[in-house]
Amino acid sequence: MASRRAPIAGRYTAEEVALAARNRGMPLEALRHELTPAGLHYLLIHFDIPPADASSWRLQFKGFFDKPFSISLEEIRRLAPTTLRVTMECAGNGRGQLSPRYPSVPWLEEGVSTADWTGVPLAALLQQGSLSPLAKEIVFHGADRGFDAGVEHHFARSLAVAQAMRDEVLVAYAMNGAPLPPQHGAPLRLVVPRWYGMASVKWLQAIEAIDGAFDGFQQARGYHFRRRADEKGEPCTLMRVNCLMVPPGIPDFYSRRRTVEAGKVALAGRAWSGSAPIARVQWALDGVWRDAVLAPARDLCWRGWSAEWPATPGTYELACRATDAAGNVQPLEAPWDLSGFGNNGVQRIQVTVRA
């Protein structure tokens, strides 16, 4: 781990700002949409968006298959399609609020969105190649290439065979009803619902069955929860329980501090968890918690919530907190993580109510 970057405390570096400008977050007022409008979905692109020619693109199936094969975009589009509405969050969402923090994209809280993904179940394609019983993991190779911590690699991630065979794991070619845009993985990408976004490999060019554990950089070194640089750590997998609120009222341009008119203020937001359905959302005014009203639940997709706040003039802190059906509750502050992963501490919004 000698080549890990040194943690940063205090103000942000030019490299962090450049990554924030490239890797767009979802402006929080877009939480008003269950389906994030095209162009507002968050983006995390490790290297560059690779050039891709959809007409000549072929997805290779190789390694432990009895019948290795390749398939074109057009051939995939002729298979029976599945569309799923999936909430996806970057594992590093909230990193920018930690101190010290790992030098990477300094998400504050906006690295989450929901899209309709259309494609075919990965399991159907694995079956077409007659996956060998010796296969232990399926590796997904993207076309994007670069360096991280001195190691040159294509972006690649793996799933255990049982995970890869879940019906809801898609090889997708469309987003919100349109062909994948370049920045979201055109022409083909993986979509792994419930997991943090790193599992949903973009610009998918090869799917490889292996008989062991994948040791690629993004699998074995990246995307682990760690407290110390010399520990192996725990891999990032399912999204932790989390929720956000549409900031009420109007903002100041620079500070984003909110000003709200006194009276009945409609609060609203969305909550999600990779482990289990959302069972409860609470909102707080200056640390006093009360229950929000939940909208109907929808599998794989964040759950809407709302509350009415009878606001009187003054200065307040609003917050929200979700609990899932497995009993996971958002912490008021998330445990510190070396690489800034999994920060699901509660969102806090400073608000001034005027008469």
If binding is defined by CB under 8 A, does position 355 make contact with its own copies?
no
DSSP letter at 197? G
Sole binder of its own copies in the list 2, 51, 230, 288 (CB under 8 A): 51
- Measured CA to CA, the distance from residue 246 to residue 347 in angstroms comes to 11
Q: Which of 14, 80, 162, 288 binds its own copies (CB under 8 A)?
A: 14
Would you list the DSSP string of 41-91?
Answer: S----SSPPPP--TTT-EEEEEESBSS-EEEEHHHHHTSPPEEEEEEEE-T
Q: Which residues pair with 260 in a beta bridge?
A: 353
Q: Are 119 and 174 in contact (CB under 8 A)?
A: yes
CB of 251 to its own copies, least distance (A): 5
Q: Binding to its own copies by residue 10, rule CB under 8 A?
A: yes
Query: In angstroms, what is the minimal distance from the CB of 178 to its own copies?
Result: 8
CB nearer to its own copies: give 146 or 212.
146
Min CB(64)–its own copies separation in Å? 30
If one asks whether residue 187 binds its own copies (CB under 8 A), the answer comes out as no
- Sole window of 21-29, 126-134, 274-282, 332-340 interacting with its own copies (rule: CB under 8 A): 21-29
How far lies 273's CA from each of 47, 153, 346, in Å? Answer: 28, 31, 14
Q: Which of residues 87-116 bind its own copies (CB under 8 A)?
A: 96, 103-104, 106-108, 110
Measure the CA–CA gap between 110 and 348, rounded to whole angstroms: 13
Of 81 and 181, CB closest to its own copies: 181
264-323 residues near its own copies, rule: CB under 8 A: none
What is the CB neighbour count within 10 angstroms for residue 330? 24
Backbone angles phi, psi at 214, to 5 degrees: -70, 135
Assess 54 for contact with its own copies (CB under 8 A).
no
Phi, psi dihedrals of residue 97, rounded to the nearest 5°: -90, -10
**Span between the terminal Cα atoms of the chain, in Å:** 56
Query: Closest distance between its own copies and the C-beta of residue 252, in Å?
Result: 4
Residue whose pair of structure tokens reads 């469309």 in the numeric block: 174
239-268 residues near its own copies, rule: CB under 8 A: 247, 250-256, 259
Does position 148 interact with its own copies (CB under 8 A)? The reply is yes
Q: Is 152 among the residues that bind its own copies (CB under 8 A)? A: yes
We find the least distance from the C-beta atom of residue 334 to its own copies, in angstroms, to be 17
Q: Which structure tokens are listed for 241? A: 């329980």
Smaller CB separation from its own copies, 27 or 327: 27
Q: Are 235 and 220 in contact (CB under 8 A)?
A: no
Between CA 190 and CA 125 the distance in angstroms is 12
- What is the C-alpha to C-alpha distance for residues 87 and 194, in angstroms, rounded to an integer? 8
Q: Which residues bind its own copies (CB under 8 A)?
A: 5, 10-22, 24-25, 27, 29-30, 32, 37-41, 43, 45-49, 51, 96, 103-104, 106-108, 110, 145-148, 152, 181-184, 247, 250-256, 259
